Amino acid sequence: MRGGRFLIIVGGLLILATVGLVAFYFLTTMGGPPGPGEATPVGAAATPTEAPPLPTRKVLIAVQDIPSCTEIPQDAVAEWEVPERDIPSDVVLTKSEILGPGMHPIALQPILRGQPIASSMLSSREEIMRQGLDSACLIPRGKVAVAFPVTELSSVAYALQPGDRVDVLISVSYVDLDARYQLKLPVILTGGEDCLAGCQPTGEQRERTLTQLTVQNAEVLMIGPWGAGIPFPVEELPVEATPVPGEGEGPPQVTTPSAQKTYNVVILVVSPQDALVLKWARENGALIDLALRSGVAGGDQDLFSTEPVTLEYMVRRFGMGPPPKLDYGLENKFGQATTAPAGTQ
């Protein structure tokens, strides 16, 4: 009997020790006992405390990838809530800031989908030309830009401006050559009378000129050296005109000085083949003029088919044949005078 009681007492002590260990485990691992009415499953972990939400702000983001040098379309951006930590300092807030009426922003760098739009990522055609930025962003796909020398006459009296459309007029002169020697005729062979039939008549050969319309509807990208800024329109400062005596005591009239519009080069946007045409004409001494196209109603985009103008064409169209040879002529003893002296009829 005593042995059985001893076993019962030992078993009770073991049970109490086991319950104490279990209670200590839950108190140390679960953060305390469950509250009233709560039941914590055995082995379940405690729920961590949730962090406060990050502050956000509605800004303009890209909803698709936008490559560099691309004009940003309306559907490529949208206003979206973005964490403030991801927002650049010069972020664009609304669409109207960059896509308002008459605004055509150009991406200066690749913009990834979901990336906030910053002002430093964008530019415009005018700013690229004014600041001398990446000129390649202004050249359409499939076109090239070439620099071309101009004068007052070939530039339509300096009337050309960026965005204009021009046609290229070219005049060239032809001469006859000896096919074998590639020399201008007549070819004089040495040897005197011994050359016989191989000798050629002497005399100076007259060049035969031809004028034709070549490259058409080329865009004027820039006037003057790239990076020098847009030369037009020029800001004109008012100056006070000297009052004319006897015309009242009113305030002097205010006038503005005329801007000096001069340049010696233009940048044209053409096809690669037309770029070769311009290079050939320039390097072969052709006389080249630019003809300004109409800008009414978006400009004239038509391509024209013209007939080359030669001496024969002028004679045929305008009746400019040579006059008959006479045994008398006029002598201009008055020099360059073209009007009668005063008092004469």
pLDDT at residue 328 in the model? 85
Pairwise CA distance, residues 37 & 187, whole Å: 122
- Dump pLDDT digits (tens) for 253-264: 554 444 557 899
pLDDT at residue 231 in the model? 56
Residues in the chain: 345
Number of structural domains (the chain) is 2
Q: Are residues 193 and 307 in the same domain?
A: yes
> Does 267 reside within a domain?
yes
pLDDT at residue 5 in the model? 66
Q: Are residues 115 and 164 in the same domain?
A: no
Containing structural domain, residue 308: 144-233+260-318
Does 249 or 291 have the greater pLDDT score? 291
Q: Are residues 216 and 289 in the same domain?
A: yes
> Does 108 reside within a domain?
yes
Q: Are residues 186 and 310 in the same domain?
A: yes
Strand ranges, E, within 226-273:
239-240, 254-255, 265-270
Which of the listed residues 123, 153, 177 is the one where a domain comes to its end?
Answer: 123
CATH (domain of 82): 3.90.1210.10
* Confidence tier at 237 by pLDDT (50, 70, 90): very low
> Does 131 reside within a domain?
no
Q: Are residues 270 and 166 in the same domain?
A: yes
Yes or no: say if 166 and 300 are a contact pair by the CB < 8 Å rule: no
Question: Mean pLDDT across the stretch 97-113?
Answer: 90
Q: Are residues 208 and 266 in the same domain?
A: yes
Mean pLDDT (the chain) is 78
Q: Of 188, 187, 162, whose CA–CA distance to 176 is shortest?
A: 187
> Does 329 reside within a domain?
no
> Does 66 reside within a domain?
yes
> Does 114 reside within a domain?
yes
Q: Are residues 187 and 227 in the same domain?
A: yes
Please give the model's pTM, rounded to 2 decimal places: 0.64
- Dump pLDDT digits (tens) for 187-232: 776 655 566 655 666 667 778 899 999 999 999 999 988 877 665 4
Does 131 or 71 have the greater pLDDT score? 71
* Residue 217: Cβ-neighbour burial (10 angstroms; 0-12, 13-18, 19+): middle
> Does 185 reside within a domain?
yes
Yes or no: say if 106 and 70 are a contact pair by the CB < 8 Å rule: yes
- Dump pLDDT digits (tens) for 107-151: 989 999 999 999 999 988 888 888 878 888 889 889 999 999 999
Q: Are residues 171 and 285 in the same domain?
A: yes
Which of the listed residues 123, 154, 176 is the one where a domain comes to its end?
Answer: 123
* Residue 136: Cβ-neighbour burial (10 angstroms; 0-12, 13-18, 19+): exposed
Which of the listed residues 72, 92, 123 is the one where a domain comes to its end?
Answer: 123
> Does 298 reside within a domain?
yes
Buried b (16+ CB within 10 A) or exposed e, 303-342: eeeeeebeeeeeeeeeeeeeeeeeeeeeeeeeeeeeeeee
* Confidence tier at 277 by pLDDT (50, 70, 90): very high
Q: Are residues 159 and 190 in the same domain?
A: yes
